[in-house]
Amino acid sequence: MKLKYSSLLLGLLLPISYVSAEVSLIPPDAKAGECYAKVVVPAKYKSVDERVLVQEASEKITITPAKYEWVEEKVEVTPTSKKLVTVPAKYKKVTETIEVKPATRSWHTSLKHNSAPVSKEILVAAKLKGVDLENATPGSCYKEYFTPEKYKTVTEEVVIQEATTKQKIIPAVYETVEKTIEIKPASKKTITVPATYEFKTEKVLVEKEKTVWKKGANPATKLDGATGEIMCLVKVPAVYKTIKKKVVKTPATVKVVEIPAVTKTIKVKKLVTPAKVETINIPEVKKTIEKKVLESKSEFTWVKVGDSVDKGLNYTGHEVCLLETPALSKKITKTVLETPVSTKEIEIPAKYQTMKVKKLVEEAKEIKTPIEAVYKVVAKKEKVSDAHQSWERILCQTNMNKDVILKIQEALNEKGYKAGKADGVLGRDTRVALDKYQRDNSLATGGITYETLNALNIEL
């Protein structure tokens, strides 16, 4: 049972290598009977507004394409490589005796091998009453006995009607008076005075002054045997344009007009004497009755079969017997590796081919025009605290039963998390659904924590 529970718990734990925080090796304030596990507490975030750059400042680039010429060149079409050849492994057969079923000990309702097993609750009750389950010998049996509870008759004076009070209300007295009230408060009215405009002419720069390379005549070409051409750096003046634009002459303004308050005189009731309450006390009423009270509770005890039983003890029908099943072994013939598989390398030379390729004669040129950056205010999540490891209380072997798993599956399915069939078995679908629910709700992951059970409204 312990091995099964350990495997179950390991199946729930998730990788936590990305969490840098360290935690203590021992859970804090742990109590007997409680189980703890290192779990991942997710990071916490808050929403903030931020002015973010949606388009960076850039440049518009106009490209003058590059110039190429075709040339013949010897190129490598297949590089030098190595070929791996597999040398198969060699195997041999050996005979081995293995244990197919280990020896086991279990508690049953009798010494018959087909008898029913004993529940964990009965074994706990027997142990609490002194039965040494760990050191019991196979073939021994124990029976449970009890002494019935006893009652006695006593008289008691009880209150059949509690002391109370009765209240009498004296109404308030009013008189009619005149009162001036404000129907509409004083206010202000804002009137807008629109802006006025005028037109102006302005000389703007269309193209900056620049220098460019132009072909020129080469005087040397007039001489015998002279060849080639020259390039001259020529200055091109700036270009301007006159435009007409509309500008503000007088900006828009506002003026405020005061509007007086409106009042009215009405008749209202004024309190002269407030309402009063007089309290009248009514005494309690008692009565003497007879009732039965518990004098001594039932006592339970376990006696080993064969030992003497005290008078007054009644057999409950519960009996536990320790059965031992011997181990089973079997001889098998298996194939084992004698020489492992290996590889050897065969070198393959490179292959070349002569082909026409494009060769750069003149590189491409670019003209850059600046573009301003664009910003936008967006809502984003800002981390308040990092994810970290923490000791959290989880379900133990004693309360990790089919009923609890069934409640978890039903709660997850109701919330839309596909935990699979509600069968009380902690399978893969249930573990995946539980992990997703914990992450969606910022709960600690890595185990079935009490925090998760509270979030699912599950009571043990």
CA distance 75 to 73: 6
Contacts (Cβ under 8 Å, ≥6 apart) of 380? 47, 48, 49, 50, 52
DSSP 266-311: EEEEEEEE--EEEEEEE--EEEEEEEEEEEE--EEEEEEBTB---T
Handedness of CA 245, 249, 251, 253 (dihedral sign): negative
CA separation for the pair 57, 59 (Å, rounded): 7
Tell me the three-class secondary structure of 126-157, residue by residue: HHHCCCCCCCCCCCCEEEEEEECCEEEEEEEE
Which pLDDT does position 23 carry in this prediction? 53
Which amino acid is present at 433?
A
Backbone angles phi, psi at 327, to 5 degrees: -75, 150
Q: pLDDT 10s digit of each residue in the chain, 460 long? A: 333 333 334 334 333 333 444 556 666 666 766 787 777 778 777 777 777 777 777 777 788 888 888 888 777 778 888 777 888 888 888 888 888 788 888 898 888 878 889 898 898 988 888 888 888 889 889 988 988 888 888 888 888 888 888 888 889 898 898 888 877 788 887 888 888 888 888 888 878 888 766 554 443 343 333 344 446 656 788 888 888 778 887 888 888 888 888 888 888 888 889 988 888 888 988 888 888 888 778 788 898 888 888 887 888 888 889 888 888 888 888 888 878 878 888 888 888 888 877 778 788 877 888 888 887 777 776 777 777 787 877 877 677 788 889 999 999 999 999 888 889 888 899 999 999 999 999 898 878 888 899 999 988 7
Tell me the β-bridge partners of 362. 67
Please state whether beta strands 262-273 and 299-304 pair in parallel, antiparallel, or not at all (unpaired).
unpaired
Is 257 in contact with 191 (CB distance < 8 Å)? yes
The answer to whether 108 and 118 are in contact (CB under 8 A) is yes
Those residues whose C-beta lies under 8 Å from the C-beta of residue 422, and which sit 6 or more positions away, are: 406, 409, 410, 413
Closest CA to 267 of 173, 176, 174, 175: 176
Q: What is the pTM of this model?
A: 0.28
CA angle, corner 133, sides to 129 and 134, nearest 5?
Answer: 135
Instruction: Record the tokens describing residue 375, joined without a space.
Output: 């910003």
Question: CA 300 from chain center: how many Å?
Answer: 49
Three-state DSSP class for residue 422: coil
The CA R_g of the chain, rounded to the nearest whole Å, is 48
Closest CA to 135 of 325, 322, 308: 322
CA distance 355 to 349: 20
Coil, strand or helix: which one is 245?
Answer: strand
The whole-angstrom separation of Cα 372 and Cα 216 is 40
Question: What is the distance between the alpha carbons of residues 439 and 14, in angstroms, rounded to a whole number?
Answer: 12
String of b and e for 295-314 (b: at least 16 CB within 10 Å)?
A: eeeeebbbbeeeeeeeeebe
Task: Describe the strand order of the beta sheet including 314-325 as a list of residue ranges.
Answer: 104-108, 314-325, 141-147, 299-304
Q: What are phi and psi of 430, to 5 degrees?
A: -65, -45
Hey, which residues does 359 pair with through a beta bridge?
69
Cα–Cα distance, 126 to 352 (Å, whole number): 88
Q: CA 301 to CA 53: how far, in whole Å?
A: 79
Q: Coil, strand, or helix at residue 11?
A: helix
Alpha-carbon span 306 to 137, nearest angstrom:
14
Q: Which helix (H) or strand (E) holds 7?
A: helix 2-12
Rounded-to-integer distance, Cα 396 and Cα 84, Å: 54
Q: Which of 454, 352, 342 is nearest to 408 (CA)?
A: 454
DSSP state, residue 445:
B
Amino acid at 150: K
